[in-house]
A = this chain, B = another copy of it.
Amino acid sequence: MKNNITIKDVAKQAGVSISTVSRVINDSKPVTDEVKQKVLDVIKETGYIPNPLARSLVTKKSQLIGVIVPEVSDSFVNEILNGIEEVAKMYDYDILLANTYSDKEQELKSINLLRAKQVEGIVMISWIVEQEHINYMQNCGIPATYISKTARDYDIYTVSTSNKKATFDMTKYLIDKGHEKIAFIMTSKDDTILEMERLAGYEEALEQNNIKLDKNLIKYGGTEYENGYQSMKELLDEGIIPHAAFVTGDEAAIGAINAICDAGYRVPEDISVAGFNDVKIAKMYKPKLTTVHQPLYDMGAVAIRMVIKLINKEILDNKKVELPYKIIDRESVIERK
């Protein structure tokens, strides 16, 4: 019943030595066709599967790549995960998953855990990348790439899109549509690099168009629906009715839309709303969300390909890959009359 067949059994049954069997399953050294066939037959017959544990133990290759995510059920995350998974499979790697709930402690723990499991590389998806983690990671010398909304100038492998430029573009897009009083609702706590960059993009666009920055229009929340809802509600409760709201995350943007509607305004007729990421729901929602498209699947695919290359000691020409974003013009933003 169970897979107790070992290389020994195969060897015995085929009347050869275990090394010969090893050779045929790995194609590592020449073996007479005749013998080879014999071994192959026995393998098929017995249903023998080499034990990768034993193999890994000697080769020091586990064919495992660890993936650390803040939360599997976040759509930003799981679309990336799809890309990771698929490419991993192509290269015969398996994915070891670790959820951190954005907890710093947990992230560190996960790194350890994965390391212990002998993963050959790690892809880390994290909202906020911290020097501490990087040091830690680099110390253990395990190939890693980061997918993070922050492309800060840490000396690490990252795949991302240009936040500043994307934010600038979307803001400008909004301005071009006639909006001036543009709320800016961010999806992470203040003071991270990410926010700095985005804020910079936002401010720059405003400035270039001679719109005075109004700090009251800026809110910090989280990536979730509820956060967006909350931030928008606060704004409205403060009596601020913007022409448009730019929310740097789609789920939060949808939250914001709902807050707007609950307050008795219409989207986009009264207030336009733009999102960020172009997550699956973005095109399912009504109104369909105008947003910044990030190639989530590709980001995952690229990231893992990078660590695989790293594992194979290939040289990457770039530590930082920036994938192109695109503004997706849908229904939640309209021209302001």
Chain A interface (Cβ within 8 Å of chain B)? 1-3, 49-54, 56-57, 62, 71-73, 75, 78-79, 81-82, 85-86, 89, 94-99, 112-113, 115-118, 139-141, 225, 251, 254-255, 257-258, 261, 280-281, 283-286
A175 CB to closest chain B CB (Å) equals 27
CB–CB B284/A225 < 8 A: yes
Which B residues touch A285, using CB under 8 A?
284-286
| Cross-chain contact A79 with B86 (CB below 8 angstroms) | no
Q: Kindly state the separation between the CA atoms of A330 and B280 in the bound complex, as whole angstroms.
A: 22
With A and B bound together, what is the CA distance between A49 and B85 in angstroms? Answer: 27
State the majority secondary structure of interface residues on A. helix
CA distance A15 to B72 in the complex (A): 45
Q: Contact at A49–B3, with CB atoms within 8 Å?
A: no
**Which of the residues B73, B81, B258 comes within 8 Å of A82, measured between beta carbons?**
B73
Q: Is the CB of B96 within 8 A of A95?
A: yes
CA–CA, A190 and B278, complex, Å: 32
| A95 contacts across to B, CB distance below 8 A | 96-97
In the complex, are the beta carbons of A51 and B251 less than 8 A apart? no
Known A82-B73, A97-B95: A49·B115 in contact at CB below 8 Å: yes
With a cutoff of 8 Å between Cβ atoms, the chain B residues found around residue A75 in the complex are 73, 75
Counted per complex, copies of this chain come to 2
A116: chain B residues within 8 A (beta carbon): 49-52
**Beyond A52-B116, A118-B52, A281-B284, is A1–B72 a contact (Cβ under 8 Å)?**
no
Whether A140 and B1, one on each chain, are in contact in the complex, defined by CB atoms closer than 8 angstroms, is yes
8 Å CB contact of A57 from B54, B94, B97, B283? B54
CB distance from A200 to the nearest CB of B (A): 30
Q: List chain B residues, Cβ under 8 A from A3.
A: 115, 140
Task: Verify A117–B94 contact, CB threshold 8 A.
Answer: yes
**Cα separation A1 to B254 with both chains bound (whole Å):** 46
Please judge, given known A-B contacts A49-B116, A57-B54, A57-B57, whether A78 and B73 are in contact too, CB under 8 Å. yes
Q: 22 A-B residue contacts at CB 8 Å?
A: A1-B139, A3-B115, A49-B115, A53-B57, A54-B57, A57-B57, A71-B82, A72-B78, A72-B81, A73-B78, A73-B79, A73-B81, A73-B82, A78-B78, A94-B96, A94-B97, A94-B98, A95-B97, A225-B283, A225-B284, A251-B284, A284-B285
The distance in angstroms between the C-alpha atoms of A139 and B2, with both chains bound, is: 8
